[in-house]
Structure 1
Amino acid sequence: MNKDLILREKLAFQRTILSNQTTFLAFLRTSMYFLVAGLTINNLLEVSYGRVIEYVFIFISFILFVAGVFNYRTQHKKILECEKHIGDYKDEYSKH
């Protein structure tokens, strides 16, 4: 049985999980940047349409957060489906 190949698959699987989590955190970080920008833009720009810009930034923040959660959950489901296939390959390796 080739244990190196199984270990390599496990490590690749873990890297994929970490990559998905990192992507979600990047979405979250960007969403928070837009939220903070939206909350502070009215203080920086003293114009009549400052509130509109503030709401636009907050709306973009919300959209980014929802997109990040949706992306994370979609990729997580795909990753779990791939884990089932890795399990099948383990059975194939143990037969030899």
Structure 2
Amino acid sequence: MSQKAPLITRDVLAIERTRLANERTFLAYFRTAVVFLSAGFAILEMSALEEIRPLGWFLLCLSPIILAVGIGRLVYIRAHIKKYYQL
């Protein structure tokens, strides 16, 4: 039976940096989704922007898609980190 060698400190820190980078990437997706959502609402609410109402609806519809992609990537990368580096 082959046992895994314990990870050295450098490897543990590299895994932690990868986890933190994954969370930062999700936060960037989240921030983008919030900006698109607020911009879409602003366009729809302002009467001076009547000619670009379709853009407002597009941004409102795109926002949850961006958030779903971000959540999907967060979960996918987190699972791969757990799969290959059990601590």
TM range (shorter): 0.7 to 0.9
Aligned to 1:45: 49
> In the TM superposition, what are the counterparts of 1:6-85 in structure 2 within 5 Å?
6-42=8-44, 43=46, 44-47=48-51, 50=53, 52-84=54-86
**TM-score when normalising by structure 1:** 0.75
The alpha-carbon deviation at position 53 of structure 1 amounts to 2.2
The alpha-carbon deviation at position 55 of structure 1 amounts to 1.6
Residue correspondences, number: 80
5+ residue gaps in structure 1? 88-96
Q: After TM superposition, where is structure 1 displaced by more than 2 Å over at least 4 residues in a row? A: none
Q: Which has the greater radius of gyration?
A: 1
Which of the pair is proportionally richer in helix?
Answer: 1
5+ residue gaps in structure 2? 1-6
RMSD between aligned residues:
1.8
Measure the CA separation in 1 of the matches of 2:67 and 2:30: 6
**TM-score when normalising by structure 2:** 0.82
Task: Indicate the structure whose relative CO is greater, using CA pairs within 8 Å and at least 6 residues apart.
Answer: 1
